[in-house]
């Protein structure tokens, strides 16, 4: 079935344009309330969290109205990270959870993503059923059967304690000095509090959200300021979160970026050392660097590549029996800790590896050599099969021939934005740039001619 609203990370779009309107949010609440609770034999509860976007108030109110109209009780937890919603849905025994966020997108966007009672994102078939229900909304229940909304005041504190519990009892991080860039997003309160309570000296950046400044020249998509502050303050590491804190980009004491591929290498080696890595492999995506694959191979580990999107990484992890997986962009999933990517848990595990191995972050996984890699993003006027056009197919085949097994090419539609993403990596940087730019120019020319 062709998806109309749900992408790889829920429903997302520009606020006050379809589908991210108050009217659609109300309808979605009714449709989701019906689908998620049709087999329950009790008064259902659903939890709603959000990041710090101004539009969160509007969408929360509309979605809450639709859910309660359909008979669901709603637990409102306010601004919390996406992984906190996954955890709190389980902890509070809710029947489902919702996170209102557009992740790393600018403040003018927002999104709605659902979690099941188990804390995992809804499977494709349930999202498709909700989409079908939008076209034929169920009858409203009697007035006596509508739901209520409650505020949960200690949600952030619960999540902080959950994160601390991922470390051994009594384990502390005294002596570490870290910089944390909160992206003016959902972790503006919990990130500094968590690191401080564990004993870190914390330099806080971008933790003053105003509804408009989320991800604005900060966070995981713009970590340069974080890197500079680490060097300036003599910190041991830096951590840049995105707007909903489910991803993390780190840097070492020298201000050198440690992306998701390097993080996976560090955590895989740490888990392997403690005999806690399952499945004999990790799961990454088509975007992960070939250097990571070679490094893991040297440790005797395999690497499975899933489609891009943390939901697909998670699906393959569960299928292959792996407890570690993630994306180069910083979504790291540690199934022993949480059911979704979690930027704060990732930061804690990196610091724990530094303490356990008595090495700076720059030395952990220092033997991993990355291939030169670059990503080109081409903005599209609408969803269209650019890669399927004959001249583009021919150019892609020619590029593969030029790479001759010494590099990789990936051309795909973004699951969250109207962009075509071209990724090229190769042993030779000049070849990588030449192949990628040539293909990007051809596609731009094809779009212009249309």
Q: H or E element: which one contains 12?
A: strand 10-14
> What is residue 369's DSSP assignment?
P
Q: Catalytic one among 103, 220, 288, 329?
A: 103
Q: Is 103 known to be catalytic?
A: yes
Q: Take residue 292 and report the two structure tokens written for it.
A: 């990571």
Nearest residue to 162 via CA among 337, 332, 335, 336: 337
279-291 burial code (b ≥16 CB/10 A, e <16): bebbbbbbbbbbb
- What is the C-alpha to C-alpha distance for residues 380 and 214, in angstroms, rounded to an integer? 24
With the C-alpha atoms ordered 208, 211, 217, 223, is the resulting torsion angle positive or negative?
Answer: positive
- What is the C-alpha to C-alpha distance for residues 318 and 316, in angstroms, rounded to an integer? 5
CB hemisphere CA count around 19 (13 angstroms): 19
- What is the C-alpha to C-alpha distance for residues 104 and 186, in angstroms, rounded to an integer? 11
Residue labelled with tokens 């025994």: 93
9-26 burial code (b ≥16 CB/10 A, e <16): bbbbbbbeeebbbbebbb
- 57 neighbors 211 (Cβ within 8 angstroms): no
- 166 neighbors 320 (Cβ within 8 angstroms): no
Nearest residue to 242 via CA among 331, 161, 325: 331
Strand partners, 422: 376, 411
Q: Which residues are known catalytic residues?
A: 103
């Amino acid at each position: 079935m062709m998806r109309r609203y749900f992408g790889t990370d829920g429903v997302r779009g520009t606020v006050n344009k379809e589908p991210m309107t108050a009217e659609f949010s109300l309808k979605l609440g009714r449709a989701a309330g019906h689908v998620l609770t049709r087999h329950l034999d009790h008064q259902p509860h659903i939890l709603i969290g959000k990041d710090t976007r101004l539009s969160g108030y509007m969408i929360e109110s509309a979605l809450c109205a639709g859910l309660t109209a359909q008979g669901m009780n709603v637990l409102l937890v306010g601004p919390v990270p996406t992984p906190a919603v996954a955890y709190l849905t389980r902890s509070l025994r809710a029947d489902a959870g919702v996170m209102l966020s557009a992740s790393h997108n600018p403040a003018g966007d927002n999104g709605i993503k659902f979690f099941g009672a188990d804390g995992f994102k809804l499977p494709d078939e349930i999202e498709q059923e909700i989409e079908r229900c939008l076209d034929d909304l169920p009858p409203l229940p009697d007035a006596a059967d509508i739901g209520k909304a409650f505020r949960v005041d200690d949600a952030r504190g619960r999540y902080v304690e959950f994160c601390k519990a991922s470390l051994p009892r009594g384990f502390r991080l005294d002596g570490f000095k870290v910089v944390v860039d909160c992206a003016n997003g959902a972790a503006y309160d919990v990130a500094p509090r968590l690191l401080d309570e564990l004993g870190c000296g914390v330099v806080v950046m971008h933790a003053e959200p105003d509804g408009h400044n989320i991800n604005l020249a900060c966070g995981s998509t713009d970590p340069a300021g974080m890197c500079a502050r680490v060097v300036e303050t003599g910190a041991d590491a830096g951590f840049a979160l995105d707007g909903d804190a489910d991803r993390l980009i780190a840097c070492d004491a020298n201000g050198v970026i440690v992306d998701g591929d390097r993080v996976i290498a560090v955590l895989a080696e740490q888990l392997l050392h403690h005999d806690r890595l399952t499945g004999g492999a990790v799961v990454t995506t088509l975007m992960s660097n070939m250097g990571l694959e070679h490094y893991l191979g040297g440790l005797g580990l395999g690497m499975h590549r899933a489609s891009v999107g943390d939901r697909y990484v998670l699906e393959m992890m569960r299928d292959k029996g792996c407890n570690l997986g993630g994306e180069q962009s910083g979504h790291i999933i540690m199934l022993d800790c949480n059911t979704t990517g979690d930027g704060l848990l990732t930061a804690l595990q990196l610091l724990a590896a530094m303490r356990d191995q008595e090495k700076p972050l720059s030395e952990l996984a220092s033997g991993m050599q990355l291939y030169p890699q670059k990503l080109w993003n081409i903005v599209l006027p609408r969803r269209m099969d650019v890669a399927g056009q004959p001249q583009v197919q021919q150019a892609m085949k020619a590029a593969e021939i030029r790479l001759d097994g010494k590099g990789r090419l990936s051309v795909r539609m973004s699951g969250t934005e109207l962009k075509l993403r071209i990724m090229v990596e190769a042993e030779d940087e000049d070849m990588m740039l030449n192949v990628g730019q040539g293909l990007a120019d051809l596609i731009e020319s094809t779009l212009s001619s249309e």
